[in-house]
Amino acid sequence: MSGPIDIWRPVADKWTDVYARVGDADWDTRTPCGEWTVRDLVEHNLDWQATGGAMLGAATKRGDDWETIREAYASHLSDPSNLQGTADEFAGIPRQELAAFLIGDLLIHSWDLARSIGADETLPPAGVEATMAGLHHVPPELLRGRNPLGQPMMGPAIDISDDANIQDRMLAFTGRRA
């Protein structure tokens, strides 16, 4: 893997695959995300990916559909120089870190959606490894509290065996039961 685009592509492919499997009967199904339904999860994810993409400088805006968001990210992340500087709208964190955070969020919500609709929950290994490493660098007060936009982040970590695979450990770290 040579950069964010190489991690993002299989994560975006996973979301695309699972999202395409959502059927009419799935929209009101509960998800692992607190009180969210599948509809709430999808709306959150599309909104956050579009909003975050705009903070990175990608050609996205709230209300964009997934294909528009996906194309904008593919174009934007293909040039590493687009991730230089900071995202002032998101507490001034480096754009490189915000990109990693957005990729991890898409990855985790791909699992949430797959779990909710009974789809394959296997996540791209490189995305899992990068997300797990990144999560351990997020200040605990941000990770377990609210992000700079005021949105709740993750719940408390769940104890899991050190022998568990990395995907299950990552999910447990984010407060999810695999």
pLDDT tier at 1, thresholds 50, 70, 90: very low
Asked if pLDDT for residue 61 goes beyond 70, the answer is: yes
Q: Percent of the chain scored above 90 by pLDDT?
A: 78
The least confident of 24-28, 53-57, 137-141 is 137-141
Rounded to 5°, angle at Cα 87 from 77 and 176: 75
pLDDT for 73-129, tens place per residue? 999 999 999 999 999 888 888 999 999 999 999 999 999 999 999 999 999 999 999
pTM of the model: 0.92
Mean pLDDT of 34-46: 94
Spell out the residues 6+ positions from residue 137 whose beta carbon is closer than 8 angstroms to its own.
none
> 164 — phi, psi (to 5°)?
-65, 155
Structure tokens at 52: 């975050």
Residue 137 has a pLDDT of 77
Higher pLDDT, 131 or 154: 131
Residue 119 has a pLDDT of 98
H or E element at residue 9? helix 4-20
List the one residue out of 18, 40, 19 whose CA is nearest residue 29: 40
Domains, the chain, with CATH or none: 4-173 (1.20.120)
